[in-house]
Copies of this chain bind each other. A is one copy, B any other.
């Protein structure tokens, strides 16, 4: 069995498990579960972890230049190792929807935008959950709404400072969100810049194209004149 076949069969079930994990994790953190409910949500988290771990091992075994796959898929290893990153799996499915677009330039940008929005929203929500989990015992962030507010204030690099993490875990998550924010500004700038540059270059190229085509036309006329000259002479000789 090739890796592609494995992918085709496992992509959607794993995306489903990622959603399930997200729901269970949200339920556990926001609801501050105890007793039976906590055990249910933890079971779901363990099942999803096992599925992701198995998928990683099988993918690694099936990968053809195995070390290359390992190096280029460190993010998949991180998804297995860090539960918080597991919902990132959903981005792979999100990418599938953008395949439908037509023109290459637009399609690339469309994919970048879709990824950025998807990754941004996931980062905001998941980091809010993880921050709430880390801070609600000893920090200032007590509800999911405060956590989401903190998350947006941080990812946009606004940084009011009305809510700041105080625990080590909370600060580590905040560092990821801040660099995510720098990346967000970068993606927005880059996508807009590429769009404007392309539009401007297209207009310029239209002009350049005409010039070259004209010059080639002159060349063609020259050659046609040459052929006519030959034909005229041919007729002269025959006549």
| Stretch touching chain B among A37-45, A76-84, A158-166 | A158-166
Name A175-216 residues within 8 Å CB distance of B. Answer: 175, 178-179, 181-205, 208-209, 211-213, 215-216
Min CB distance A238 to B, Å, is 9
A137 within 8 A of B: no
Contacts of A160 in B (CB 8 A): 159-161, 164
**Dominant SS among interface residues on chain A:** helix
Chain A interface size range:
35 or more
A141 within 8 A of B: no
Let me know if A156 and B179 touch, CB within 8 A: yes
A53 within 8 A of B: no
Contacts of A204 in B (CB 8 A): 105, 198, 201-202, 205
Residue in B178, B185, B230 whose beta carbon sits within 8 Å of that of A182 in the complex: B185
A54 within 8 A of B: no
Residue in B104, B175, B202, B227 whose beta carbon sits within 8 Å of that of A225 in the complex: B227
Residue in B190, B198, B227 whose beta carbon sits within 8 Å of that of A189 in the complex: B190
Report the bound CA distance from A85 to B58 in whole Å.
46
Report the bound CA distance from A156 to B174 in whole Å.
11
Min CB distance A151 to B, Å, is 10
